[in-house]
């Protein structure tokens, strides 16, 4: 049988929480308020995002881009006659604040779902709360393997490529093209860094030296010094954009010039260029990867669509990969709502996502099923050359275990003529 919501323990506390959240009961289309956040004319969803704080660079542009795509859809009548309202809460990338704002979204605003909450350390702390209140927890903005636990968290789904999958793909490139070089690692001191390193070491074995950082301390001088002292020739980074820029800048100051290979989440060139300012040329030669069209690919029909939406509904914000990401999340959420049908319930939405069949801008497969909530499953490598970030080679896919890294040859779908996914 398809996995459904896990039965909750019958305690007064859980019963009270369920009473606060409402039940999926019947008739989302009736507008009677039986489904939290859903009326006959509207759907209310919320998110937590670092609009300020140590992870705000680049990431603060994601949720406004998602909202812009929703506004574009709303201007054409919405989804099954309902318009989407997206409430964005700033959590400053602080786990305690994340818990506070998510509780407000669920208990006070009574959102239908949490969409694309950002951050491994932040979102981890709200998983149990969202499960207890039976709130769909969709397309988390992090590649942690924690989101892919359908037995434990049946309402949580990832979006980003799993950091272990990404680590395997990046490490395979290093192994193939940089054989014999001393490979080292710097990562965030949480599941982001640990999962990335696990993938890297599945391919390369133990790295020569490894360091970590915490986002509350914007100084990576000791770490870069240690990696230079260790004779590292390749440094693989699992870093958010601000710490990628810090790493590049700090290395330059101590005349340390390894080949940097950076996780996609910290490698958007537009964001790094802003962070580095006059030192932006330090990004030259940086190797990374992605699973969505790159923002500078003017010929890509998805980029053409997103630029149109950005101009009309996002104040024509400076266009970068964060905007591409945010609009791609919005597109997938609209696909999910279309598939769930007019009689919208939380359980119906979960079922529609698990049935999958979604095609969109991604260069890799979406791996949603009753047994897999992980999100995208592959990457294509990119390089910064001449101040431009471009893809090379072909997309690859793999798993978080010991499976091979293999070429993925299915091309992405073209966007619909009107830019809005049709009802299934």
Q: List, in order of start, the domains of the chain with CATH numbers.
A: 12-161+297-377 (3.40.50.2300), 163-290 (3.40.50.2300)
Encoded tokens for 337: 């709502």
The per-residue pLDDT for 366 is 95
The per-residue pLDDT for 423 is 85
Q: Is 132 exposed, middle or buried (0-12, 13-18, 19+ CB in 10 A)?
A: middle
Report the DSSP beta bridge partners of residue 383: 287, 390
Residues 6+ apart with CB under 8 A from 5: 134, 154, 155, 347, 350
The per-residue pLDDT for 29 is 42
Dihedral sign computed on CA atoms, order 423, 359, 264, 204: positive
Q: Along the 424 residues of the chain, how does pLDDT read in single tens digits?
A: 334 333 333 333 333 333 333 444 334 444 445 899 999 999 999 999 999 999 999 999 999 999 999 999 999 999 999 999 999 999 999 999 999 999 999 999 999 999 999 999 999 999 999 999 999 999 999 999 999 999 999 999 999 999 999 999 999 999 999 999 999 999 999 999 999 999 999 999 999 999 999 999 999 999 999 999 999 999 999 999 999 999 999 999 999 999 999 999 999 999 999 999 999 999 999 999 999 999 999 999 999 999 999 999 999 999 999 999 999 999 999 999 999 999 999 999 999 999 999 989 999 999 999 999 999 999 999 999 999 999 999 999 999 999 999 999 998 899 999 999 998 7
Report the DSSP beta bridge partners of residue 267: none
The per-residue pLDDT for 22 is 40
| Closest among 42, 8, 294, 298 to 153, alpha carbons compared | 8
The per-residue pLDDT for 7 is 36
The per-residue pLDDT for 33 is 53
Q: Is the pTM of this model over 0.75?
A: yes
Tell me which residue has tokens 């997938």: 332
The per-residue pLDDT for 411 is 87
Q: How far are the Cα atoms of 35, 76, 175, 382 from residue 41, in angstroms, in the given order?
A: 13, 13, 54, 43
Encoded tokens for 102: 């998510």
Encoded tokens for 382: 């990119």
User: Over the stretch 375-418, which tens digit does the pLDDT of each residue have?
Assistant: 999 999 999 999 999 999 999 999 999 999 999 999 889 999 99
Query: CB–CB of 82/124 below 8 Å?
Result: no
């Amino acid at each position: 049988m398809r996995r459904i919501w896990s039965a909750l323990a019958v305690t007064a506390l859980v019963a009270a929480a369920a009473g606060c959240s409402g039940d999926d009961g019947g008739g989302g289309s009736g507008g009677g308020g039986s489904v939290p956040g859903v009326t006959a004319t509207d759907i209310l969803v919320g998110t937590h995002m670092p609009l300020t704080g140590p992870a705000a660079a680049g990431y603060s542009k994601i949720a406004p881009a998602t909202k812009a795509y929703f506004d574009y859809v709303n201007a054409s009548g919405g989804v099954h006659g309902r318009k989407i309202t997206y409430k964005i809460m700033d959590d400053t990338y602080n786990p305690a604040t994340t818990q506070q704002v998510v509780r407000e979204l669920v208990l006070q605003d009574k959102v239908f779902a949490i969409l694309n909450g950002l951050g491994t350390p932040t979102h981890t702390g709200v998983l149990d709360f969202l499960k207890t209140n039976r709130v769909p927890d969709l397309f988390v903005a992090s590649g942690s393997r924690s989101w892919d636990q359908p037995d434990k968290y049946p309402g949580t789904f990832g979006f980003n490529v799993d950091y272990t999958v990404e680590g395997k793909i990046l490490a395979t490139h290093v192994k193939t093209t940089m054989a014999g070089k001393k490979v080292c690692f710097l990562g965030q001191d949480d599941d982001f860094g640990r999962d990335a390193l696990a993938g890297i070491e599945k391919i390369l074995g133990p790295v020569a030296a490894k360091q970590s950082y915490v986002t509350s301390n914007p100084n990576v001088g000791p770490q870069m010094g240690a990696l230079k002292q260790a004779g590292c020739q390749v440094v693989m980074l699992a870093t958010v954009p601000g710490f990628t820029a810090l790493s590049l800048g700090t290395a330059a100051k101590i005349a340390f010039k390894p080949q940097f290979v950076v996780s996609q989440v910290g490698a958007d060139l537009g964001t790094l260029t802003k962070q580095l300012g006059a030192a932006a040329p330090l990004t030259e030669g940086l190797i990374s990867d992605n699973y969505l069209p790159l923002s500078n690919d003017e010929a890509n029909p998805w980029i053409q669509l997103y630029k149109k939406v950005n101009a009309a509904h996002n104040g024509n914000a400076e266009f970068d990969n964060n905007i591409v990401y945010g609009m791609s999340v919005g597109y997938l959420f609209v696909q999910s709502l279309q598939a769930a049908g007019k009689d919208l319930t939380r359980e119906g939405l979960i079922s529609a996502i698990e049935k999958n069949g979604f095609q969109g801008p991604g260069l890799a497969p979406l791996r949603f099923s009753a047994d897999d909530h992980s999100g995208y499953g592959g990457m294509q490598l990119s390089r910064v050359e001449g101040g431009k970030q471009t893809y090379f080679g072909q997309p690859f896919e793999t798993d978080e275990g010991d499976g091979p890294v293999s070429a993925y040859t299915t091309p992405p779908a073209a966007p619909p003529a009107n830019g809005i996914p049709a009802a299934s």
